[in-house]
Structure 1
């Protein structure tokens, strides 16, 4: 994979291709920045750590922060509406990976600020209500959905496990999560993930410097290497959604490691590698919004 944007993030996360703007958005979580690149480069300073987003319309994003879900006006870089608290009464946790689902909701994971074991959870925000779906997660990542909306995926990076769960017609879990891929058995640690048009996944591997293909039946496939050991979150976008993007991080790397991988923290891309699909919009209108 080649450099797409050389602005260095301590913890790049939350890559999102905006289908109407033809623009890639991502976060520097601990640096409290939202970055983007389309026709121009954009950088928005944030009041607290933010980690994931969904597009609402051309001008607005749903943003998950360490304490809430809010609406961001892209042009002004300001938050215009607080939708709900997100473990705001627990200063020991923050948001992590999240993604809009095919039914207009938004799934978001929380974690301990120091990745304390079992302190995280996964929630769904839909129609103005936040519901806790799963607990006892250490580092929730890889939230993504089958193209037909029949399944959701998520990982616990700390345990090296990727799970899947069946969804009902409303987009709610229809049973208990089941193990989908045991990455730990291969010495790999899954971070963010995205599903493609054929139902396969592309999973970023923390510490491995790669995005790996995973088939719809859970087989590990080709590795797409990038010159940064901590790959964090992939997204598909560009013309025909045939470009694979991936954020990265410098977090936890020694000066020597950074010397060997000076592009750590940059955002990367690889063209004509996959046929992706547009991310679904978050349905703010289901929350009583009439704008």
Structure 2
């Protein structure tokens, strides 16, 4: 049985978006509602906040190939300069009031996938976008009718993309032509049962299996490439949010979590809510790709 251990005890509001950086032996992660970007050094076990002038919230963060941080939020997609200030790259929803970007990942070619969500979490006003290129950036809306965008993840060869609308409790997949960038229609990958929680952040391991956090489900589920449950990993908090592989041998699974919206009784039951966790699930993962723009 895989043991999930607390790596960093911290009452973050909405911990999210872990990214392993091997050159630094560090895990970067964010708190959407602080808002803040953090860097946890696994050698010194020190967690520092990265200086950044963020908006009211942050929806996701990735690294570009030149080392810049790319952040998404209610005002669009930005990079951070050396002083930590945002520079707007694109905002395809500048006329869409009440939406915000939520979660972001890059496919193996460096295309940025990020979706928008209704801040009030009721309207199907969100869309899924793919952003690529430098200078005159290409922005494509590839799906719509989404309440809460979450969890882009990609098969090891990049030819399958995964995505979820958490409130629909369904994980979707798309066929991708990695060379041309052409993306197929949305297909259902797995329909989650109500008692299992809401599908949230995801990653894919080196064997092509999908790992997905279950918000309000106290667990992380591993799915086969054909959409069958392979195993369920129990975690000591109700709201795990996202996962990534890392560590010197890429065999550790890092898990972020949230305390947001939990009652005093729930926090007494799960006092580590908002903390970082780690385990060794017996399989290796892949490094997250970096943005090509």
Fold-level similarity (TM above 0.5): yes
- 2:66 is the counterpart of 1:63: no
Per-residue CA deviations over 1:265-289 (Å, capped at 9, x if unaligned) read: 11111135320011111112xxxxx
1:111 to 109, 117, 124: 117
Classify the secondary structure of the residue corresponding to 2:59.
Answer: strand
Q: Does 1:203 align with 2:209?
A: no
For 2:37 and 2:68, locate their aligned partners in 1 and report how far apart those are by CA, in whole Å.
Answer: 13
Deviations 1:100-153 (A, max 9, x none): 111111000110111123121110111112211100011111210111011101
Against the structure 1 CA distance between its residues 173 and 209, is the aligned structure 2 distance closer, same or farther, given a 3 Å change threshold? Answer: farther
For the 8 Å contact 1:29–1:49, the answer to whether it is kept is: yes
CA distance in 1, matches of 2:157, 2:21: 20
Distance in 2 (alpha carbons) for counterparts of 1:270 and 1:97? 23
Partner of 1:249: 258
Corresponding residue for residue 3 of structure 1: 6
Query: Please, which of 169, 180, 185 is the counterpart of residue 176 of structure 1?
Result: 185
Task: Tell me what 2:232 maps to.
Answer: 223
Determine the structure 1 residue equivalent to 2:96.
90
Query: What is the distance in 2 between the residues matched to 1:201 and 1:223?
Result: 12
Residues 60 and 72, structure 2, Cα contact 8 Å, conserved in 1: yes
Partner of 2:26: 23
Please state how far the C-alpha of 1:230 moved relative to its aligned partner.
Answer: 0.5
CA contact (8 A) 1:26 1:34 kept: yes
1:178 Cα offset (Å)? 0.8
- Greater displacement, 47-56 / 57-66: 57-66
Equivalent residues in 2 for 1:35-184, closer than 5 Å: 35-38=38-41, 39=44, 40-44=46-50, 46-57=54-65, 59-73=67-81, 76-79=83-86, 81-127=87-133, 128-170=137-179, 172-184=181-193
C-alpha RMSD over aligned residues: 1.9
State the Cα distance separating 1:10 from its structure 2 match.
1.1
How far off is 1:61 after superposition?
1.5
Give the whole-Å Cα distance in 1 for the aligned partners of 2:216 and 2:195.
Answer: 13
Q: Distance in 2 between matches of 1:9 and 1:88?
A: 29
Select between 180-189 and 275-284 the one with higher mean Cα deviation. 180-189
Structure 1 residue 283 corresponds to structure 2 residue 292 = yes
Q: Displacement of 1:185 after TM fit? A: 6.3
Q: Distance in 1 between matches of 2:92 and 2:60?
A: 13
| 2:16 equivalent in structure 1 | 13
Count of residue pairs the alignment pairs up: 282
Counterpart-to-counterpart distance in 1, 2:128 and 2:282: 30
